[in-house]
């Protein structure tokens, strides 16, 4: 059952999403060759608690850490460890926060030092596909419209769209209805209505769409060992239109990236 949120509940969700956004912004300054994903995880947990939140993933389905840390060929759900990141790696960081009974849940794939042009393009196209999907999340459209838009754009670039893992409704539960696949058919699936809140999260592989899982029961990686990217935003439907609750602006501030990619999805000004 889809849980529609009131305007007040959406503002609480924005608060949770912004703590995740700020956590990713803090991490943007720390992602560099030599740092371990476990060290980043510890920083994130402290930061989240200092901001009045609780790590949303820690203990969820028995996940052992605060961040999902998925380098290179890992798609999602990687477990932080003591292996240092290396020049040319990419690292997908997925972060969840629970505050005021509502979850925030978003993700960004960072470059570690200088990455190959091929990988850079994978990240750029995956992030672009996220906004192409978000644009379809509006009243009257359906789940399949978002999935179709992401899949079409991604496959036109020759990349693999992961099927086994999908976006989702978000609220008092980390995973609510509806499922939000990154593939689909136009006009199919559940209809979007005012007050819906979701996480849209393309998981895009440079090569095959096929994945496998490590014996740890968590880590998902590409079947061909090629890199995978993951970008995730939290969005509500307000006034019939997609409104971003999360932001990559804190990351961009640290990395010195100028972007207006979020402007069209923001009816409420971003608080500093």
Q: Which of 94, 136, 145, 176 binds Mg ion (CB under 5 A)?
A: 94
* Run of H or E including 174: none
Q: Residue 115 is encoded by which pair of tokens?
A: 């990455």
Report, in Å, the least distance between residue 87 CB and Mg ion. 26
Pick the closer one to Mg ion by CB: 184 or 202: 202
Under rule CB under 5 A, residue 176 binds Mg ion:
no
Report, in Å, the least distance between residue 137 CB and Mg ion. 14
CB of 62 closer than 8 Å to CB of 209: no
CA angle (266 as vertex; 1, 165 as ends), nearest 5: 40
b/e code 125-146 from CB counts within 10 Å (16+ = b): bbbbbbbbbbbbbbeebbbbbb
CB of 230 closer than 8 Å to CB of 38: no
Residues in region 22-81 near Mg ion by CB under 5 A: none
Pick the closer one to Mg ion by CB: 225 or 250: 250
Dihedral, 7, 9, 15, 17 alpha carbons, nearest 10: -100
**Alpha-carbon gap, residue 227 to 229, rounded angstroms:** 7
CB of 209 closer than 8 Å to CB of 160: yes
Contact segment (CB under 5 A) with Mg ion among 28-36, 40-48, 120-128, 227-235 equals 227-235
**Alpha-carbon gap, residue 201 to 147, rounded angstroms:** 10
Pick the closer one to Mg ion by CB: 217 or 258: 217
Report, in Å, the least distance between residue 168 CB and Mg ion. 6
Report, in Å, the least distance between residue 269 CB and Mg ion. 25
Report, in Å, the least distance between residue 97 CB and Mg ion. 11
**Alpha-carbon gap, residue 102 to 246, rounded angstroms:** 13
Q: Which residues pair with 92 in a beta bridge?
A: 70, 109
Q: Which of 18, 24, 134, 199 binds Mg ion (CB under 5 A)?
A: 199
Contact segment (CB under 5 A) with Mg ion among 1-9, 130-138, 152-160, 191-199 equals 191-199
**Alpha-carbon gap, residue 143 to 84, rounded angstroms:** 39
Give the number of residues in contact with Mg ion, rule: CB under 5 A: 5
Pick the closer one to Mg ion by CB: 109 or 222: 109
Pick the closer one to Mg ion by CB: 114 or 164: 164
Report, in Å, the least distance between residue 199 CB and Mg ion. 4
Report, in Å, the least distance between residue 251 CB and Mg ion. 15
Q: Which of 15, 105, 136, 243 binds Mg ion (CB under 5 A)?
A: 105
Pick the closer one to Mg ion by CB: 9 or 94: 94
Pick the closer one to Mg ion by CB: 17 or 85: 17
Residue ranges that bind Mg ion, judged by CB under 5 A: 94, 105, 107, 199, 232
């Amino acid at each position: 059952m889809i849980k529609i949120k009131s305007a007040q509940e959406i503002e609480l969700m924005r608060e949770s999403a912004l703590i995740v956004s700020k956590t990713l912004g803090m991490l943007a300054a720390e992602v560099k060759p030599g740092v371990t994903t476990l060290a980043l995880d510890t920083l994130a947990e402290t930061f989240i608690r200092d901001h009045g939140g609780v790590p949303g993933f820690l203990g969820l389905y028995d996940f052992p850490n605060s961040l999902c840390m998925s380098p290179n060929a890992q798609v999602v759900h990687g477990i932080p460890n003591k292996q240092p990141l290396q020049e040319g790696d990419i690292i997908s960081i997925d972060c969840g926060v629970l505050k005021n009974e509502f979850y925030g849940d978003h993700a960004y794939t960072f470059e570690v030092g200088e990455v190959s042009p091929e990988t850079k393009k994978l990240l750029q196209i995956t992030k672009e596909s996220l906004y192409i999907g978000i644009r379809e999340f509006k009243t009257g459209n359906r789940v399949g419209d978002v999935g179709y838009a992401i899949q079409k754009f991604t496959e036109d670039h020759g990349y693999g769209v992961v099927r086994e893992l999908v976006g989702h409704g978000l609220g008092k539960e980390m995973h609510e209805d509806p499922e939000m696949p990154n593939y689909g058919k136009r006009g199919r699936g559940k209809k979007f209505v005012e007050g819906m809140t979701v996480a849209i999260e393309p998981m895009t592989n440079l090569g095959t769409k096929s994945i496998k899982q490590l014996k740890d029961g968590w880590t998902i990686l590409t079947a061909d060992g090629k890199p995978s990217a993951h970008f995730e935003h939290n969005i509500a439907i307000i006034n019939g239109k997609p409104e971003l609750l999360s932001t990559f602006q804190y990351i961009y501030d640290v990395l010195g990236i100028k972007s207006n990619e979020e402007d069209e999805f923001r009816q409420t000004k971003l608080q500093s």
